[in-house]
């Protein structure tokens, strides 16, 4: 009887967690107008969640699944970094070698740039190679060479500035050192050993389970553009399941990734975005947790969603909300709360003429519907205040948003924003 009771408790716990994950994901999808999204969570080497939500293809009404294939944009960079580490492990290069050891055609100003600098975005090379054209397929070496005439942005090793050009250079190093195309080397030495059978270089070939990419214009969903050129820095297609199963080793947990701590937990992460797609991968090595989130919508930030999912498995990861501060004008707060609650029929006299026109544009893009889908407004508290700007935490049934209002000397709203 006690065993049966324990099983019942465990089953209820798992169902509750599943329901909480579904509610969280759907709230974010509603708020950010995401057509389709896939999530995978691995804890101590075991998959604890692998799900798809919404539509992988809106036109064919094809559901998104855990195995849906998405473009992952710059989340490709850790794979190039892993390939360089493997070549170092093979004794074919060292991370502190000058890049000109492998690219002698590079300018003399690149003498001080090491492979480590390129991996860590501390090289000083320009962010984008001038010769990159998303609609023109050119050899990687040719695109890279277009950056040679551009002066370094800073002395190597003195600053950190994100650079796609640096990863063009690394891809060319991989090709010359391995004596095979960088894409083939990575497929053979990185993807295959990890069992990442769905991960591959972006291609125009038919790919089973591939998602269609979308964007929004004036509040309306539309097909995203499809780049013909494949940048090494954002080259790959993958699935949430494949990404979550990729092992993270001590030798590869920094280079190619961003590393920080959250509430004392070591956090290794990267994101990616190309037209029509966003990708997030967050790993907490000391906690044995990996969260991958992929979606078929451009220009969205899903990092908060990924971290909230991680917080469901790491107690205390998500810190307490910003505390409410003393409210010197409760009547004003009540008025601003009413603005949110009555947004579909907002009172334009509360806004300046320009601000009111912006509200009308937001309404045309569906902001009122997006707010309504979050359920009733349960709490609205002041958390930050400057001269004429007030920031509130707006707690809805399905998610928490933050409302910022700027007022003029007459108390009219000159600007407002609602963010997650």
* 4 pLDDT tier (thresholds 50, 70, 90): very low
Is residue 177 included in any domain, yes or no?
yes
Is residue 17 included in any domain, yes or no?
no
Is the pLDDT at 3 greater than 50, yes or no?
no
Residues 83 and 143 in one domain: yes
Residues 254 and 159 in one domain: yes
Residues 128 and 155 in one domain: yes
Which tens digits make up the pLDDT trace of 144-200? 999 999 999 999 999 999 999 999 999 999 999 999 999 999 999 999 999 999 999
Is residue 231 included in any domain, yes or no?
yes
Which tens digits make up the pLDDT trace of 98-124? 999 999 999 999 999 999 999 999 999
Residues 39 and 186 in one domain: yes
Residue with structure tokens 């010359």?
A: 176
Residue of 190, 132, 140 lying closest to 168 (CA atoms): 140
Which tens digits make up the pLDDT trace of 288-336? 999 999 999 999 999 999 999 999 999 999 888 889 999 999 999 999 9
CATH of the domain at 381: 3.10.450
CATH of the domain at 102: 3.40.710.10
- Which pLDDT score, from 0 to 100, does residue 14 have? 47
The residue from 284, 319, 354 where one domain ends is 319
Q: Which helix (H) or strand (E) holds 392?
A: strand 389-396
Query: How far is Cα 138 from Cα 399, in angstroms, rounded to an integer?
Result: 45
CA-to-CA separations, 312 to 164, 302, 315, 318, 375, in angstroms, rounded: 33, 16, 7, 9, 22
Residues 264 and 293 in one domain: yes
Is residue 302 included in any domain, yes or no?
yes
Query: How far is Cα 86 from Cα 89, in angstroms, rounded to an integer?
Result: 5
Residues 378 and 242 in one domain: no
Residues 240 and 371 in one domain: no
- Which pLDDT score, from 0 to 100, does residue 252 have? 53
Measured in degrees and rounded to the nearest 5, phi and psi for residue 129 equal -70, 130
* 365 pLDDT tier (thresholds 50, 70, 90): confident
| % helix, strand, coil for the chain, step of 5 | 35, 25, 40
Q: Dmax of the chain from CA atoms?
A: 77
Which tens digits make up the pLDDT trace of 374-417? 888 999 999 999 888 999 999 988 888 999 999 998 889 999 88
Which tens digits make up the pLDDT trace of 224-248? 999 988 889 999 999 999 999 888 7
The residue from 319, 351, 374 where one domain ends is 319
Residues 348 and 307 in one domain: no
Residues 230 and 99 in one domain: yes
> What's the domain range around 397?
330-419
Which tens digits make up the pLDDT trace of 212-226? 999 998 778 999 999
Q: Which residues contact 169 (CB under 8 A, 6 or more apart)?
A: 99, 103, 106, 118, 125, 144
The residue from 268, 292, 319 where one domain ends is 319
Query: How far is Cα 316 from Cα 297, in angstroms, rounded to an integer?
Result: 30
Q: Which residues contact 189 (CB under 8 A, 6 or more apart)?
A: 83, 86
Is the pLDDT at 17 greater than 80, yes or no?
no
Is residue 218 included in any domain, yes or no?
yes
Is the pLDDT at 250 greater than 80, yes or no?
no
- Which pLDDT score, from 0 to 100, does residue 15 have? 54
Residues 131 and 248 in one domain: yes
End-to-end CA distance of the chain: 46
Residue with structure tokens 């990616």?
A: 272
Residues 335 and 298 in one domain: no
Residues 61 and 184 in one domain: yes
- Which pLDDT score, from 0 to 100, does residue 217 have? 86
- Provide the number of structural domains found in the chain: 2
- Which pLDDT score, from 0 to 100, does residue 247 have? 83
Write down the H helix ranges in 342-400. Answer: 353-364, 367-372
Cβ–Cβ < 8 Å for 275, 215: yes
Is the pLDDT at 8 greater than 80, yes or no?
no
Cα 314 → chain centroid: 20
- Give the global pTM: 0.85
């Amino acid at each position: 009887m006690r065993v049966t009771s324990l099983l019942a408790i465990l089953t209820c716990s798992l169902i509750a967690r599943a329901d909480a994950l579904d509610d969280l994901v759907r709230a974010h999808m509603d708020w950010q107008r995401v057509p389709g999204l896939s999530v995978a969570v691995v804890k101590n080497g075991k998959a604890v969640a692998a799900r798809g939500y919404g539509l992988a293809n809106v036109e064919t009404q094809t559901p998104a699944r855990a195995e849906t294939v998405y473009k992952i944009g710059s989340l490709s960079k850790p794979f190039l970094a892993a390939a360089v580490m493997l070549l170092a492990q093979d004794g074919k290069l060292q991370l502190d070698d000058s890049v000109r050891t492998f690219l002698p055609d590079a300018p003399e100003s690149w003498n001080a740039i090491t492979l480590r600098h390129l991996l860590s975005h501390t090289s000083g090379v320009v962010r984008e190679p001038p010769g990159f054209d998303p609609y023109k397929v050119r050899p990687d070496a040719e695109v890279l060479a277009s950056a040679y005439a551009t002066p370094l942005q800073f002395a190597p090793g003195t600053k950190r500035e994100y650079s796609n050009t640096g990863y063009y250079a690394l891809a060319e190093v991989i090709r010359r050192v391995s004596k095979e195309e960088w894409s083939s080397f990575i497929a053979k030495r990185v993807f295959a050993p990890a069992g990442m059978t769905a991960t591959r270089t972006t291609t125009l070939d038919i790919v089973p389970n591939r998602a269609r990419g979308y964007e929004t214009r004036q509040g309306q969903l539309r097909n995203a553009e499809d780049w013909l050129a494949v940048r090494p820095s954002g080259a790959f297609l993958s699935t949430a399941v494949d990404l979550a199963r990729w092992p993270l080793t001590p030798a590869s947990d920094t280079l190619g990734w961003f590393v920080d701590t959250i509430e004392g937990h070591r956090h290794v992460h990267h994101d990616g975005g190309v037209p029509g797609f966003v990708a997030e991968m967050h790993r907490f090595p000391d906690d044995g947790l990996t969260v991958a989130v992929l979606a078929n919508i451009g220009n969205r930030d899903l990092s908060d969603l990924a971290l909230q999912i991680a917080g469901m498995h790491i107690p205390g990861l998500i810190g307490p909300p910003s505390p409410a501060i003393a409210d010197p004008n409760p009547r004003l707060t009540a008025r601003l709360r009413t603005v949110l609650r009555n947004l579909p029929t907002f009172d334009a006299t509360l806004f300046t003429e320009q601000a009111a026109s912006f509200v009308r544009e937001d309404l045309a893009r569906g902001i009122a519907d997006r707010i309504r889908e979050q359920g009733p407004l349960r709490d609205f508290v002041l958390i930050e205040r400057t001269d004429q700007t007030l920031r509130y935490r707006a707690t809805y049934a399905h998610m928490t948003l933050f409302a910022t209002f700027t007022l003029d000397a007459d108390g009219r709203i000159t600007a407002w924003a609602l963010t997650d």
